[in-house]
């Protein structure tokens, strides 16, 4: 599959979804049509299979024959949000098996005209007990990812099992572009088996709150029927309203190509009314293989699970004609015939009478908070899955207690630092463990840095590593130090944002703790370099602040490309800034900073990039601007030995240096070439505070570095002359 075809495919889907009426809760028609528009060979393959299905002669089966389909359910959650229980997953499978075997308790609501065509599909869905690597499984995978909030096909690559052997069910919190916000699920038709790339997406993807009828699904109106509806699409069933009332079609090729499900003019906006009769060609057509039981006009079959009669809960049946069509698809589509074969049932642990010991659980930790102040506590939750758990063993370096056997321990951290968390879970079959390195961040009661004169240009790799925190929502590092680009100097921090495969993911860059009490009327300034990838790029840069060591965050500024992109052009290749004009200064004046932030002695700032299909982003020269409060150097010097203000400067530069030890000291200014351009001081000092003044008018505009050498001090700070 070429990149051009992939792009065209997703653009078509986006257009289709945005032009559909608001009643669409199943996205299959749009996905399917755009597959056929983009990949005509798949459409031709489907047409060939449809002809084979029309002529299919089923082999006589025993009266008690049933088809077994192995399922794997992939749950995508974010720190527990959307992580539905095993019980809810099993409840969804219960509903599938009742509906596909006419065991559901509401079949009594089927109207007499359709009672005779309602049949059992004789299909049973079973969770796989053996995974693709021949390991024990309970048929449920769980993946922690921010993508679950804006999911589409791209999330499937995080967890997919061989679609020749398992029917994949993907459960997400919500869909993102190009999927319409009204959609609860969609499926890929079996014809995608003819395209190797599309085939890896074969299966059904749903919002997790539409799966089953308990837990997060208990408040929805779907009665757990979305799953069965989408599985019907996977097994080659269409919507009864797919081709409308076109009288030129007989029932073998019109509607849903099933003669005992009358055609419908539309989805009827999810209505469930016995008075609806939208087509008058119900008796047209019929064959021996696809008999038409109607001799005249009949109402629309809103009871059918493949319809849209969700509003009144009347989706309660499948028909004999639909059973014949699914049976033919299972026999004629290679992935379905292989999936349901006796050999595959045995290899997936879904054959009758399969029995195995409980699986070893997979260790998983949920901690909604990772940041805490000294003396405060965090609660951790065991979110392990895959097998029953008989024992827990936690390890909390730096915490009190330092170990626990509880499922949800509460741990107190009394000492500033960064700490690991370890969990081991066990049952009779074995043990699994997980280690979260540098997971807990404990802030001290005193800020590590003064806010006055604070500027971070990311020139020092060690400072960046030791003082800044990166929280990513994807498996790969996103915010990283760039030694190849900078607004001033040669370094910055960048986010490799161009090729994100999802939208809405958030990558967070967190500053060290700063004392804002040191600054009079502080404001914030940061340099940003960014370019759009396309005209629809909608990345967001959010700036937030935390007053409680990172436990909670205040939103200070939310910006879009219109604010921080340096021009209106687009670039589909990697954007790397090569000149100063490609940077834009983002400033938050003092009057727009919350008073609580300006008066706090312990503030962390966060730069949060929310992906919106754009290009790379670079950040440089983050600084706190403002005069020192009452020029209280004694207080400031507790945290900062060298103060330079104002910075940037236009004429006069003030330097305050608090020498910790006596002896020979040297203070000098260098330019970008490393050349010394000014001697500020060279002589003996005592252990006390010294002040100097530099005439900036004697210096050319640009970037300089002020260095102090003496005693145990080796300090360098950047100075900007405007």
In this prediction, residue 473 carries a pLDDT of 60
Average pLDDT over residues 657-663: 85
CATH of the domain at 400: 2.60.40.10
Q: What residues make up the domain containing 554? A: 449-629
Q: Which two tokens stand for residue 371?
A: 């940041």
What is residue 216's DSSP assignment?
Answer: G
Q: How far is CA 614 from the centre of its chain?
A: 16
Report the pLDDT averaged over residues 146-165: 93
Q: What is the pLDDT of residue 640?
A: 52
pLDDT of 644 over the 80 cut: yes
Is residue 636 scored above 80 in pLDDT?
no
Condensed to tens digits (0 to 9), the pLDDT of residues 575-603 reads 999 999 999 999 999 999 999 999 999 99
Residue 358, domain member (yes or no): no
**Has residue 231 got a pLDDT over 50?**
yes
| pLDDT, mean over the chain | 89
Find the mean pLDDT for residues 203-214. 96
Mean pLDDT value of segment 369-385: 90
pTM of this prediction?
0.78
Percent above pLDDT 90 for the chain: 64
332-350: average pLDDT: 98
Q: Are residues 72 and 137 in the same domain?
A: yes
Is there a domain that residue 41 lies in? Answer: no
Lookup: tokens for 711: 């005693």
Among 607, 629, 651, residue at a domain's last position = 629
CATH of the domain at 88: 3.40.390.10
In a domain, 433, yes or no: yes
pLDDT reported for residue 311:
62
Residue 355 falls within a domain, yes or no? no
Tell me, what's the pLDDT at 642?
A: 83
- Rounded Cα distance, 301 and 292, in Å: 14
Q: How confident is the model at residue 18 (pLDDT cuts 50, 70, 90)?
A: very low
34: helix, strand or coil:
helix
What are the pLDDT digits (tens) for 46-59?
999 999 999 998 77
CB atoms inside a 10 Å sphere around CB 583: 24
- Exposed e or buried b for every residue in 234-248, given b needs 16+ CB within 10 A? bbbbbbbbbbebeee
Q: Is residue 173 part of a domain?
A: yes
State the pLDDT confidence band at 4, using cuts at 50, 70 and 90. Answer: very low
pLDDT, tens only, 255-303: 899 999 999 998 877 778 888 999 999 999 999 999 999 999 999 999 9
Question: Does 608 fall in a domain?
Answer: yes
Has residue 634 got a pLDDT over 70?
no
The pLDDT value recorded for residue 630 is: 52
Do 477 and 609 reside in the same domain of the chain? yes
pLDDT band of residue 61 (cuts 50, 70, 90) is low
pLDDT band at 21 (very low <50, low <70, confident <90, very high): very low
**What pLDDT, on the 0 to 100 scale, is given for residue 631?**
46
Together in a domain, 425 and 518? no
Q: What is the mean pLDDT of residues 235-252?
A: 88
- Summarised one tens digit per residue, pLDDT across range 426-450 is 999 999 999 999 899 999 887 778 8
Dihedral pair phi/psi, residue 132, rounded to 5°: -60, -20
Do residue 93 and residue 233 come from a single domain?
Answer: yes
Q: What pLDDT, on a 0 to 100 scale, did the predictor assign at position 481?
A: 94
Query: What CATH number corresponds to the domain at position 478?
Result: 2.60.120.200
Instruction: Note the pLDDT tens digit of each residue in 481-509.
Output: 999 999 988 899 999 988 775 566 788 99
pLDDT of residue 20: 41
Q: Give the confidence band of 403 by pLDDT, cuts at 50, 70, 90.
A: very high
Alpha carbons within 13 angstroms on the beta-carbon side of residue 460 total 13
Q: Is 70 exceeded by the pLDDT of residue 569? A: yes
Q: What is the mean pLDDT of residues 690-718?
A: 85
341 lies in the same domain as 386: no
Give the CB-side neighbour count of residue 464, counting CA atoms within 13 A.
21
On whether residue 298 sits in a domain, the answer given is yes
Q: What is the mean pLDDT of residues 404-425?
A: 95
Residue 338 confidence class, pLDDT cut points 50, 70, 90: very high
Kindly tell me the sign of the dihedral angle through the C-alpha atoms of 409, 439, 467, 495. Answer: negative
Range from 149-158, 216-225, 238-247, 323-332 that averages highest in pLDDT: 323-332
178 has a pLDDT exceeding 90: no
Rounded-to-integer distance, Cα 705 and Cα 672, Å: 8
Instruction: Write down the pLDDT at residue 218.
Output: 87
Shared domain check, 230 and 210:
yes
Q: In three state form, how does the secondary structure of 433-470 look? A: EEEEEEEEEEECCCCCEECCCCEECCCCHHHHHHHCEE
| Mean pLDDT along residues 459-484 | 83
Question: Taking a C-beta distance cutoff of 8 angstroms, is the pair 335, 48 a contact?
Answer: no
Asked if residue 665 and residue 704 are part of one domain, the reply reads: yes
The domain boundary residue, chosen from 384, 405, 437: 437
DSSP label at 78?
Answer: B
pLDDT band, residue 2 (cuts 50/70/90)? very low
Count of CA atoms in the C-beta half-sphere (13 A) of 53: 29
Q: 477: pLDDT confidence band, cut at 50, 70 and 90?
A: low
Query: Would you say residue 637 has pLDDT above 50?
Result: no
- What are the residues facing 319 on neighbouring strands? 118
- Do 318 and 378 belong to one domain? no
pLDDT at 249 over 90: no
pLDDT of residue 606: 97
Q: Are residues 278 and 330 in the same domain?
A: yes
Residue pair 495/616 in contact by the 8 Å Cβ criterion: yes
Q: CATH number for the domain including 649?
A: 2.60.40.3080
Dihedral of CA 235/241/244/245: which sign? positive
Residues 156 and 298 occupy one common structural domain: yes
Identify whether residues 285 and 423 lie together within a single domain.
no
Of 348, 377, 412, the domain-final residue: 348
**Cis omega (within 30 of 0) on the bond before 401?**
yes
SS3 string, 311-363, reads: CCCCCCECEHHHHHHHHHHHHHCHHHHHHCCHHHHHHHCCCCCCCCCCCCCEC
Domain count, the chain: 4
The model's confidence at residue 12, banded by pLDDT at 50, 70 and 90, is very low
Residue 187 included in any domain: yes
Q: Quick one: 698 and 583 in the same domain?
A: no
Task: Please compute the mean of the pLDDT values over residues 399-417 and round it to a whole number.
Answer: 96
Does 99 score more than 70 pLDDT? yes
């Amino acid at each position: 599959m070429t990149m051009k075809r992939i792009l065209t495919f997703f653009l078509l889907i986006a257009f289709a979804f945005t032009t559909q009426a608001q009643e669409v809760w199943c996205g299959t028609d749009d996905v399917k049509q755009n597959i056929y528009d983009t990949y005509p060979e798949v459409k031709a393959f489907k047409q060939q299979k449809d002809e084979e299905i029309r002529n299919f002669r089923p082999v006589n089966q025993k009266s008690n024959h049933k088809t077994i389909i192995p399922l794997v359910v992939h749950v995508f959650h974010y720190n527990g949000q959307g992580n539905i229980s095993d019980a809810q997953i099993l409840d969804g499978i219960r509903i599938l098996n009742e509906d596909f075997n006419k065991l559901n308790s509401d079949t009594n609501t089927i109207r007499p005209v359709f009672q005779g065509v309602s049949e059992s599909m004789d299909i049973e869905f079973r969770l796989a007990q053996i995974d693709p690597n021949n390991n024990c499984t309970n048929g449920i995978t769980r993946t922690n990812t921010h993508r679950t909030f804006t999911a589409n096909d791209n999330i499937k690559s995080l967890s997919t099992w061989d679609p020749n052997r398992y029917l994949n069910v993907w459960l997400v919190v919500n869909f993102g572009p190009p999927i319409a916000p009204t959609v609860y699920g969609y499926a890929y038709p079996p014809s995608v088996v003819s395209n190797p790339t599309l085939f890896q997406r074969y299966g059904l993807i749903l919002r997790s709150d539409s799966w089953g009828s308990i837990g997060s699904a208990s408040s929805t109106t779907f009665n757990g029927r979305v799953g069965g509806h989408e599985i019907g699409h996977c097994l080659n069933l269409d919507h009864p309203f797919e081709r409308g009332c076109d009288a030129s079609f007989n029932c073998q090729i019109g509607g849903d190509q099933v003669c005992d499900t009358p055609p419908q003019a539309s989805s009827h906006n999810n209505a469930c009314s016995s008075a609806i009769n939208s087509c008058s060609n119900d008796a047209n057509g019929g064959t021996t293989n696809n008999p038409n039981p109607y001799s005249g006009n009949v109402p629309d079959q809103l009871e059918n699970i493949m319809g849209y009669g969700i509003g009144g809960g009347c989706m309660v049946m499948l028909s004999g004609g639909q059973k014949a069509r699914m049976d033919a698809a299972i026999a004629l589509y290679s992935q379905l015939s292989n999936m349901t074969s006796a050999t595959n049932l045995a290899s997936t642990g879904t054959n009758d009478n399969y029995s195995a010991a409980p699986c070893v659980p997979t260790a998983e930790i949920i901690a909604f908070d990772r940041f805490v102040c000294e003396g405060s506590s965090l609660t951790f939750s065991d979110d392990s899955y895959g097998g029953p758990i008989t024992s827990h063993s936690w390890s909390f370096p730096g915490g009190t207690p330092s170990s626990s056997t509880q499922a949800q321990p509460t741990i107190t951290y009394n000492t500033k630092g960064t700490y690991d968390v370890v969990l081991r879970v066990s049952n009779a079959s074995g043990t699994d463990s997980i280690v979260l390195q540098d997971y807990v961040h404990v802030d001290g009661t005193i800020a590590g840095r003064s806010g006055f004169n604070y500027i971070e240009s990311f020139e020092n790799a060690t400072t960046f590593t030791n003082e800044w925190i990166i929280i990513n929502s994807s498996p790969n590092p996103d915010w990283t130090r760039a030694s190849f680009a900078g607004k001033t100097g040669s370094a910055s921090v960048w986010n490799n944002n161009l090729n994100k495969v999802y939208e809405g993911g958030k990558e967070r860059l967190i500053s060290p703790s700063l004392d804002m009490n040191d600054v009079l009327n502080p404001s914030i300034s940061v340099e940003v370099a960014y370019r759009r990838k396309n005209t629809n790029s909608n990345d967001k840069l959010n700036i937030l602040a935390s007053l409680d060591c990172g436990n909670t965050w205040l939103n200070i500024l939310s910006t879009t490309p219109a604010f921080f992109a340096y021009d209106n052009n687009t670039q589909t290749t990697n954007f790397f800034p090569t000149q100063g004009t490609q940077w834009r200064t983002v400033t938050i004046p003092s009057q727009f900073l919350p008073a609580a932030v300006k008066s706090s002695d312990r503030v962390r700032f966060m730069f949060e990039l929310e992906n919106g299909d754009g290009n790379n982003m670079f950040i440089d020269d983050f600084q706190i601007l403002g005069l020192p409060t009452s020029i209280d150097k004694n207080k400031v010097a507790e945290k900062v030995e060298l103060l330079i203000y104002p910075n940037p400067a236009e004429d006069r530069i003030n330097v305050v240096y608090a020498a910790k030890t006596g002896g020979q000291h040297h203070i000098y200014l260098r330019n970008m070439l490393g050349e010394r351009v000014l001697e500020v001081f060279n002589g003996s000092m005592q252990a006390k505070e010294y002040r100097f003044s530099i005439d900036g008018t004697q210096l050319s505009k640009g970037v300089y570095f002020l260095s102090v050498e003496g005693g145990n001090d080796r300090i360098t700070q950047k100075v900007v002359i405007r």
